[in-house]
Amino acid sequence: MHLLWLRVAAVLYAAASVAVFPAVLYNKERWRSICVHLAGMAFFFHFVSAVEMLALAHRWVPVGVRETESLMGFAVVALFLLVWWLYDAISLGFFALPVTFFLVFVPALGIERYTFPSQGVRASWLVAHIAALLAAYAALGFSLLASILYLMQERRLKAKLKSDTPSRLAPLDWLPPLDTLERIAHATLLFGFPCMTVGLVIGSVLVQETPLGAAYFTDPKIIASFLMWAVYVLLLFVRHNAGLRGRKAAYLSGAVFVVMLAVWAANMFSHVHRFGAQ
């Protein structure tokens, strides 16, 4: 039964991870309450699962990668709930809840590695994995493009205000207003994040059918992908909490794009997860 309780906890962690975004980014009190309640219920079921798992095994220490991941996720969410209770700092859930979900998701699939019912099902998951990540990369690239156009439009407008003489940027009068470019850059960032999250989650499922096991997550490209996801979360958090707009926000988008290029470069050093690899 401990696997059932862990799966319930994983679903609740996923729901809490979704709820924390409007709670933190838009300071919605209702979503704050929903997020905390979901996280609390997930923590309870996770606790029941952990106790039952260790009691049935007649030991009190984890054995194996999956048990360690599960208990690590339990420790992360326990610390988050403690900090929230003491300081009402739900902003930390922006990082803690998605991380906990990733830690719990694979152990919730089962003790043994997961197998797909057919090759057709596996191919569908693979297509979804690739499509989600490509959509995330496209969204990041589009956000960077909008940020670059923002900088160009800002420079053109400043040059126009300083002097009535034509400048080299005069032909760019077709560019949208600054506010429009800012909203496009922000909207594409918000669109790309769930795409990247879904892509990584599906990838975690796909790897369960391979003989690599936990070694898969030591691959350079996989490490870089999760690092990029963490930087993405940090960008959204800093951009909103610090109220970054305009030039500084454009520079941050550029930094995330550099990380994305690093992920693609890591493909050249990957032995198990590279384009064209069998």
d(CA 195, CA 171): 36
d(CA 178, CA 70): 46
Cα end-to-end distance, the chain, whole Å: 37
Range of 139-143, 175-179, 227-231, 247-251 with top mean pLDDT: 139-143
123 and 29 Cβ atoms separated by less than 8 Å? no
Amino acid at residue number 177: P
Domains of the chain, by residue range, sit at: 2-109, 119-269
128 and 116 Cβ atoms separated by less than 8 Å? no
Predicted confidence (pLDDT) per residue in 240-274, tens digit:
665 566 667 777 777 777 777 776 666 666 555 55
User: pTM for the full model?
Assistant: 0.74
Helix H segments across 26-64? 29-56
- Residue 161, CB half-sphere, CA atoms under 13 Å: how many? 6
Q: What is the pLDDT, as a whole number, of residue 210?
A: 64
Tokens of 277: 């690899």
Residues near 184 by beta carbon (within 8 Å), at least 6 away in sequence = 142, 143, 146, 176
Confidence band for 219, pLDDT divided at 50, 70 and 90: low
Range of 40-44, 89-93, 189-193, 239-243 with top mean pLDDT: 40-44
- Residue 40, CB half-sphere, CA atoms under 13 Å: how many? 10
Q: What is the pLDDT, as a whole number, of residue 39?
A: 96
Q: What is the pLDDT, as a whole number, of residue 46?
A: 95
Predicted confidence (pLDDT) per residue in 48-71, tens digit:
999 998 888 777 777 777 788 888
Which 3 state secondary structure label does DSSP give 66? helix
130 and 113 Cβ atoms separated by less than 8 Å? no
d(CA 82, CA 156): 50
Helix (H) or strand (E) holding 139: helix 119-162
Q: What is the pLDDT, as a whole number, of residue 196?
A: 86
d(CA 139, CA 147): 12
Q: What is the mean pLDDT of residues 111-118?
A: 68
d(CA 1, CA 5): 7
Class of the 2-109 domain?
A: mainly alpha
Confidence band for 212, pLDDT divided at 50, 70 and 90: low
